[in-house]
């Protein structure tokens, strides 16, 4: 069973994130995407979890499918929101029985409709991590926000809380960002707080301005003026996409030069941009 912490201890990781499909067509599309990315020999793939646990079954089914049908180790997202101890124990037992040992422990977002809220035995991600440690021998990652979580009162508090999470977990993956200074500052601040565990930067190639702008607002990430100006100079949707891929490629190169332990690509369940970045960086392909 491949543990992400062991991969990080021996070299850089290159990984991809997917959302669980909600329909037969979505499943077929995701299957094609994973097949197109598998020749890149990803270190692992992660599967997201909807607000309030709304994609719980879809996430589980997708993670199990990846484990069963591909050669790529999966990492399952888990959230505090909408889960009891018994439910988490049941989910983890299913994963462990299938040979899945990597999870990303998240606080999670409440459902958009309060009427859809489920009972929860956890308040913070650290509560979930502590329970996971009690019931299993998992490799546990956490989320990091280079520019601070949107619900944090200030950046210093966010860094302190992240350091507490990382002291009881194995590694972190970050929310996407567009300026390398945010990542460097995050790693340096964690070091000052006594944490030197791997922090894998998350990469979001901008292929559609409106879509990423909305996602940036929700995640608390800044959409910098320099990137907006470059994208708005695009003469067609394809040109905009090419500019976004070039900007993401440069960010990846700068991060690797700065010593990042790997790269984690937010694919939006598509493969083209990630494959192009791989080619431009000259990363090995199986």
Coil, helix or strand for 15?
A: strand
Q: Give the integer Cα–Cα distance in Å for 143 and 126.
A: 11
The CB density around residue 140, as the number of other CB atoms within 10 Å, is: 24
Q: Give the integer Cα–Cα distance in Å for 160 and 157.
A: 5
pTM (global) more than 0.85: yes
Output the pLDDT for position 91.
Answer: 94
Q: Which helix (H) or strand (E) holds 239?
A: helix 237-257
Identify whether the C-beta of residue 76 lies closer than 8 Å to the C-beta of residue 102. Answer: yes
For 100, phi and psi rounded to 5 degrees? -100, 125
Question: Which residues, at least 6 apart from 153, have a Cβ–Cβ distance to it below 8 Å?
Answer: none
Dig out the tokens for 127 from the structure.
């509560």
CA angle 193/183/260 to nearest 5° reads: 95
Expressed in angstroms, the distance from the first to the final Cα of the chain is: 21
Low-confidence stretches of the chain (pLDDT < 50) are none
- Any catalytic annotation for residue 17? yes
Q: Which helix (H) or strand (E) holds 36?
A: helix 24-37
Which domains does the chain carry?
A: 4-281 (3.20.20.220)
Three-state SS for 248-264 is: HHHHHHHHHHCCCCEEE
Q: Which residue has the tokens 């030069």?
A: 257
Q: Give the integer Cα–Cα distance in Å for 180 and 258.
A: 9
Output the pLDDT for position 162.
Answer: 97
């Amino acid at each position: 069973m491949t543990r992400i912490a062991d991969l990080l201890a021996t070299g850089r990781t290159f990984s991809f994130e997917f959302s669980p499909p909600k329909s037969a067509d979505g499943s077929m599309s995701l299957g094609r995407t994973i097949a197109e990315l598998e020749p890149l020999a990803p270190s692992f793939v992660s599967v997201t979890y909807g607000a309030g646990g709304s994609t719980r079954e879809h996430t589980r089914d997708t993670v199990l499918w990846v484990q069963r049908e591909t050669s790529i180790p999966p990492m399952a997202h888990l959230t505090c929101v909408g889960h009891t101890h018994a439910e988490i124990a049941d989910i983890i037992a299913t994963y462990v029985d299938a040979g899945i040992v990597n999870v990303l422990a998240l606080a999670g977002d409440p459902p958009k409709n309060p009427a859809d809220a489920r009972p929860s035995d956890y308040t913070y991600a650290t509560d979930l991590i502590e329970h996971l440690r009690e019931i299993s021998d998992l490799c546990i990652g956490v989320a990091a926000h280079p520019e601070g979580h949107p619900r944090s009162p200030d950046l210093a508090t966010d860094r302190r809380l992240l350091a507490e999470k990382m002291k009881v977990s194995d590694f972190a993956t970050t929310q996407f960002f567009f300026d390398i200074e945010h990542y460097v500052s995050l790693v340096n601040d964690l070091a000052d707080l006594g944490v030197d565990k791997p922090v894998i930067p998350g990469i979001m190639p901008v292929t559609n301005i409106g879509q990423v702008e909305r996602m940036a607002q929700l995640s608390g990430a800044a959409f910098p003026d320099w990137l907006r100006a470059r994208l708005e100079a695009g003469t067609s949707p394809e040109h905009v996409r090419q500019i976004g891929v070039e900007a993401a490629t440069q960010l990846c190169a700068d991060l690797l030069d700065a010593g990042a332990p790997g790269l984690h690509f937010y694919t939006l369940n598509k493969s083209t941009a990630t494959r192009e970045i791989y080619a431009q960086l000259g990363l090995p392909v199986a």
